[in-house]
Structure 1
Amino acid sequence: MKYRALGRGGPRVSALGLGTTSLMGIFGRRDPRAVADTLRFGLDHGVNVLDTAPSYGEGFAETVVGQVIRGRRDEVVLSTKVGCWAPDEFDFSARRIRAGFEESLRRLGTDHVDVLLAHDIEYGDPAEITGTVLPLLLRLKEEGKARAVGVSGLPLPVLDTVVETGSLDVVLSYCRYGLHDTALEQYARRWSDGGVATLLGSPAAMGLLTQAGPPAWHPASPELREAASRAAALCARHGADLALLALQFALADDTVGCVVTGTGDRDHLAATLRAVDTPPDAELLAEVRGVFAGVPDPGWPSGNGLWPGAPA
């Protein structure tokens, strides 16, 4: 396993991190015992980043993570979130964040997290995020309940606006650095120059970059879906897996502190771990990138429309 420093003076993190969206149910139901076993398998093989959130199964994912890290807390760089408490349920008020975070700590069985993120800030009011949420995160950091604080979300201009306040340690973005879209790279380099670390979530773009293709609810355009289907077929002809190729591509960018991927299957994680230490097939990578080159817009909107530039 490769390790990197998370920002300036941050913890040493594995290049691969494990997320817990598999316990949300949106990608199909997973046996929580199998997920817990898979997370332990990852820890046993050098992964030290676990990312979760209260909205993942409405607290269930945090409960499972708490069970996994019992007796191993010092081995883990633990990340959770505030602001989104269930799918499509956002409340960024100071009172709700305080109470919700205490609930998270109880479920996780710890008195602090290593990374605390305001979750999908594009669904919050800009004034509340900058005027209430960021100062509160800093207070929680001062109180020792979080070692590093930051934000997560999809629209890069929104994340960039908040980074410019100068109060963040970490940004978690997802789906914006992959075989289909590398828009995150220019932002991550600039953020890194300012001492802000970047975590990349979902290198397979919420199932878009997989052999099976995206789920029905995926917001990708028909053009992007069609390109992904052609890329999957191309990988199949080469005996390769599109999702693993996407992971290898993301891991090769050293501006990303950690690539967080979700899995609830031990065999899939074993294949993922092998991919971490295996360079991608350069010729296949170039062909797959070429498939996506003609897609006019590789992203999709996210948020409440209150942030300037949010649809970008």
Structure 2
Amino acid sequence: MEKRQLGRTDIFLGPFSIGTSTLGNVYGEVKFETAQKLCHEIIKKDKYLFDTSPFYGILKSETVLGKCLQGIDRDKYYLSSKVGRYGLKEFDYSAKRIKESVNESLARLGVDYLDILILHDVEYVDPDIVLQEALPALQQVKESGKARYIGFSCEPLQVLKLIIEKSPIQLDVVISYPHYTLLDDSLSKLFPLLKEKGIGMINASPLVLGLLTTKSSPPSWHYMTKEKLFELKQLISTVEAEYKYPIEKAALQFPTEEPCVPTTLVGLKGLEEFEFLEQILKDPIPPHIFSSIKGKMLNNNITFRDPHYYELGNYSFVDEDTPKSLP
């Protein structure tokens, strides 16, 4: 399996990494026996990154993952977790809580250190707090040896760019979603900045939080309007009928072909889904067909969320590139 370096870190990852929000039952129940078998089989195959958070299932994802990893040598996997978000509207970016949260996560996961520590969903928190308190606290955690590399996660690309440019510390990693997918490849505009800063970019949500699949309905909390959802379903039906490939395969194959995307997080509910990822790498959609699928999916007016206006935390943007107010 081809591996790519994650920014300036010493971490080399395959095209897919393992998202474990599923172990928190965010997308339906996953029994412990299923989760344990999944994790053990993945680790037998290769050294993968497992990503979790205390927010996923309100501690459940970390707790279940920790039990699954018991007895497995620490050098057999990479581990990433997060701080700062603990509930749907519960955020605490204070330095004190960040340091406490890291210790709590290490205890739940049964490890002495994290390979990656992420400040979770910075767009919902005042940028002054992010820049002046939270990021410096992450740096202190890194210096303590409890996290090897640090960074943040963020959905709006405007905020992602802003925090990267204004960060008072050296960032190692960022997690971005869902802006390098079959519906939206706008993250590519930030590839030069990420390369310049030496930041490793972890792509996430290639299925756009459950939109690019016919196997289940999007979760009830999804942001897309009913009208746009209907439009998307029609597009998917047309593409699948014309090209004879499931939309899931095309969506998961898409980020693997971009050299600037070291890895993509994929949430898994069972071993069958992991085997599907392996099958994509062994037997991808042929280039001439895949090119046509990409053209049809990317050249549409379906957006995950309105790209022209965000009001999150203390950030406001009137369009894709121009901040209305800056910290």
Q: Same fold (TM over 0.5)?
A: yes
Aligned equivalents of 1:236, 1:30: Cα separation in 2: 31
- Residues 18/262 of structure 1: CA separation in 2 closer, same or farther (3 Å cut): same
The DSSP-based 3-state class of the residue aligned with 1:203 is: coil
User: Which consecutive unaligned segments of at least 5 residues does structure 1 have?
Assistant: none
**Counterpart position of 2:222:** 218
Q: Percent identity?
A: 31
Aligned equivalents of 2:318, 2:82: Cα separation in 1: 21
Residue range with higher mean Cα deviation, 277-286 or 59-68: 277-286
**Counterpart position of 1:176:** 179
Q: Is the 8 A contact 2:50 2:78 kept in 1?
A: yes
TM-score between the two structures when normalised by the length of structure 1:
0.92
The question of 1:132 aligning with 2:133 is answered yes
Deviation (angstroms), 1:72: 2.4
**Post-superposition CA distance 1:94-127 (Å, at most 9, x none):** 2221111111000011111000000011011110
- Give the alignment partner of residue 240 of structure 2, picking from 235, 240, 254: 235
Equivalences for 1:114-193 in 2 at 5 Å?
114-164=115-165, 165=167, 167-193=170-196
User: Which consecutive unaligned segments of at least 5 residues does structure 2 have?
Assistant: 321-327
**Post-superposition CA distance 1:8-38 (Å, at most 9, x none):** 2431222210011112333222213212211
The count of residues paired between Structure 1 and Structure 2 equals: 312
**Counterpart position of 2:269:** 264
Amino acid at match of 2:193: R
Residue range with higher mean Cα deviation, 231-240 or 114-123: 231-240
Deviation (angstroms), 1:224: 5.5
Equivalences for 1:1-312 in 2 at 5 Å?
1-70=1-70, 71-164=72-165, 165=167, 167-212=170-215, 213-221=217-225, 222-223=227-228, 225-236=230-241, 238-296=243-301, 298-300=303-305, 304-309=312-317, 312=320
- Residues 88/244 of structure 1: CA separation in 2 closer, same or farther (3 Å cut): farther
The DSSP-based 3-state class of the residue aligned with 1:160 is: helix
Aligned equivalents of 2:317, 2:68: Cα separation in 1: 39
Deviation (angstroms), 1:227: 2.6
Q: Is the 8 A contact 1:180 1:292 kept in 2?
A: yes
Deviation (angstroms), 1:237: 5.2
Aligned equivalents of 1:180, 1:33: Cα separation in 2: 34
The DSSP-based 3-state class of the residue aligned with 1:26 is: coil
Say what the alpha-carbon RMSD is for the aligned residues.
Answer: 2.1
Deviation (angstroms), 1:294: 4.7
The DSSP-based 3-state class of the residue aligned with 2:278 is: helix
